[in-house]
Structure 1
Amino acid sequence: MRIFLTAAMLALTAAGSALAADLPSKKMAPMLPPPPPPPLWSGFYVGLNAGYTWDERGNVLVNSPANIWAVGASGSGALATSNDGFIGGGQIGYNYQFGQTFVVGVEADIQGVGGSNSSATVGNFVTPVSSAITASKQLDYLGTVRGRAGYLISPTLLLYGTGGVAYGQANLNATVTQTGLNGATGSATVGFSDTRVGWTAGGGVEWLFMPQWSAKAEYLYYDLGRASASNTLAFQGVNVGATTVSSSFKGHVVRAGVNYHFNLFTPPAPVVAKF
């Protein structure tokens, strides 16, 4: 009998140990790694920008009939003009963040240009004909549509490159005046005013200083190509030939801006169960 009781107690003890092993234990809860931070940059944004722009001091070239032209033996004159000053406007864009390192997106912007419109005049007085030309050029506004690709130096600091299409309202004007014997004069005004389309490239840095606000500093180079126009020059009542004017529109932009991020498609952080 004693042997039977001893065996029964041993069996109960073993069963209790096995049942206790199957019960959940706080000490044996699985150790899950912390979840990665959510993508902070994904989503739409809008913002404002302001800065400074300057062109490449490209000459305005004016060509007129050589048989009565007195500025240069080739019948042409080159006038250096500049178009520098304030630039400001707004932008809208979309970012998508890959993991914790890369951000790509697209941005469109448009800015008004308040640059100084400097003109230049050159003249040469050769008997019996004196000649002079005055020329100027100006950019009224500048817009771009660009792709962006960047690297996250930290979760809130983005270093990026950008490039795409640029467009702007380009104005180009030149007036040619010639005076001959007995004060007889001839003149022609040549002008161009139209939207030019070209390309732009640059880069910048953007800092997400609040969950939905960022500040950026950016440099862009733009090239809108070359514009030209022509008109007929009349001298002493006779049309003697066409006068042409041409110049390139290219330059630089340095600006700062601020963006508000909507973050409409940023997924919420995953919920981790706690025991």
Structure 2
Amino acid sequence: MKKLMTTSLGVLAIAVATPALAQSDVTTNWTGPYVGGSLGYSWQPNFDRDTREVVAFDTNNDGAYGDQVRTLPSGGNAFERGFCRGRALGSSPASCSSDKDGRTAWKVHAGYDYQMGNFVVGAVVEGGKSYIQNSVSAFSTTPASYTFTRELSWDGAARLRAGYALPTGTLIYGTGGLAYGKIKNSFSAINNTFNTFTESNRTDKDFGWTAGGGIEQKVANNFSIGVLYKYTRFNDDGYTVNAGQGTPPSAVNAFVNPVFTSGSTNLQRTSDRFENHSVQATASFRF
């Protein structure tokens, strides 16, 4: 992370310093098509709503989550040991590792700008990988642990942008538009050999939105560099894990016992928000 952030800040410093060094014959007109790429760092916010995320249960399969998984014969809370925002590495809550929220991110892009006086408007499409993921874990009294992990396999966007062009060949702009991503979900259970776990809607190709801003500097008539910040949000919902009867069958297993369940229990994450911030160094070849 430190190296990538240093790289992005270095590009920003170059972009700020370049106007003083630019040759007088470098055009300051931004009209025309361009292609290029970006490299940087993506990370996820950890607002209160994120750190409070837990695993929710539907024990009677009525589609409403928030039921308590109960043990026999006492009817006690099977998950009184609690939850954590992160990945369980064992059956104990003490084994939970915090999310590694930061990841390298890269994109390729193509776009077109049109300049009217000092104002520049344009559109750009992009696609690449951000590698980000997050997890939430639940800990039962068995003891056992259950972890949901969400990963952004790849993502892209179609953005508009608008900005102000300085006579130094510098463009300051804001941007926003439609995002699209492939999100993969996975589930793991540690120390539970008594149930079957059936996943539904494991992969989600989801639309979202993105917004941000940046600075770009022409360093030659057909080449520019810059730094871009973006916030991107997807709503990933529908991934469900059903805990069913294992082999040999059990009448006292908390997920399937006939006293407190309908014969199986559905599990879901309580948050469908999958969001990230990114800072990337950009380079574009202009035609």
| Equivalent of residue 79 in structure 1, options 62, 68, 85 | 85
Q: CA deviation at 1:205?
A: 0.3
Provide closer, same or farther for how the CA distance between residues 257 and 38 of structure 1 changes in structure 2, counting only shifts above 3 A. closer
Give yes or no for the alignment of 1:172 onto 2:172. Answer: no
**Gap runs ≥5 in structure 1:** 1-36, 263-275
What's the counterpart of residue 219 of structure 1? 229
CA drift at 1:61: 3.7
Match of 2:55 among 62, 77, 91: 62
1:77, distance to aligned residue in structure 2 (A): 4.3
- What does 1:253-268 align with in structure 2 at a 5 Å threshold? 253-262=278-287
In angstroms, what is the RMSD of aligned CA positions?
2.7
Check if 1:107 corresponds to 2:96. no
Q: Which segments of 5 or more consecutive residues in structure 2 lack a partner in the other structure?
A: 1-25, 60-68, 72-76, 87-98, 250-255, 257-262
1:159 deviates by 0.3
Query: Hey, what does 2:161 align to over in structure 1?
Result: 148
Q: Say which of 250, 261, 264 aligns to 1:240.
A: 264
Structure with more contact order per residue of length (Cα contacts < 8 Å, sep ≥ 6): 2
The residue aligned with 2:96 is none
Deviations 1:207-265 (A, max 9, x none): 01111111110000001123232232124535323222354210101001111111xxx
1:52 to 24, 33, 41: 41
Judged with a 3 Å threshold, the aligned counterparts in structure 2 of structure 1 residues 241 and 121 are, in CA distance, closer, same or farther, namely closer
Residue number in structure 1 paired with 2:8: none
Q: How far apart are the structure 1 equivalents of 2:136 and 2:145? A: 11
Matched, 1:186 2:226: no
Distance 1:177 1:235 in 2: 17
Q: Which secondary structure does the structure 1 equivalent of 2:30 belong to?
A: coil
Q: Percent of counterpart pairs with the same letter? A: 27
- CA separation in 2, counterparts of 1:255 and 1:124? 41
| Larger Rg belongs to | 1
Q: Shift of residue 123 of structure 1?
A: 2.1
Q: Is the 8 A contact 1:55 1:82 kept in 2?
A: no
Task: Note if contact 1:63-1:243 (Cα within 8 Å) is conserved in structure 2.
Answer: yes
Higher-strand-fraction structure:
1
The CA distance in 2 between the partners of 1:225 and 1:231, in whole Å, is 18
| Alignment length (residue pairs) | 215
In structure 2, what residue type is equivalent to 1:160? Y
CA offsets 1:90-128 (integer angstroms, 9 cap, x no match): 1000000002x110000110112244x565544242xxx
Change over 3 Å in CA distance of 1:197–1:82 after alignment to 2: farther
Q: What residue in structure 2 maps to residue 136 of structure 1?
A: 149
**Does the CA-based 8 Å contact 1:79-1:122 persist in structure 2?**
no
- Name the CA distance, whole Å, in 2 between partners of 1:146 and 1:232: 38
Amino acid at match of 1:167: Y
Say if 2:183 and 2:236, in contact at 8 Å, map to a contact too: no
Q: Is the 8 A contact 1:83 1:139 kept in 2?
A: no
Which residue does the alignment assign to 2:216? 206
Q: Is the 8 A contact 2:184 2:204 kept in 1?
A: yes
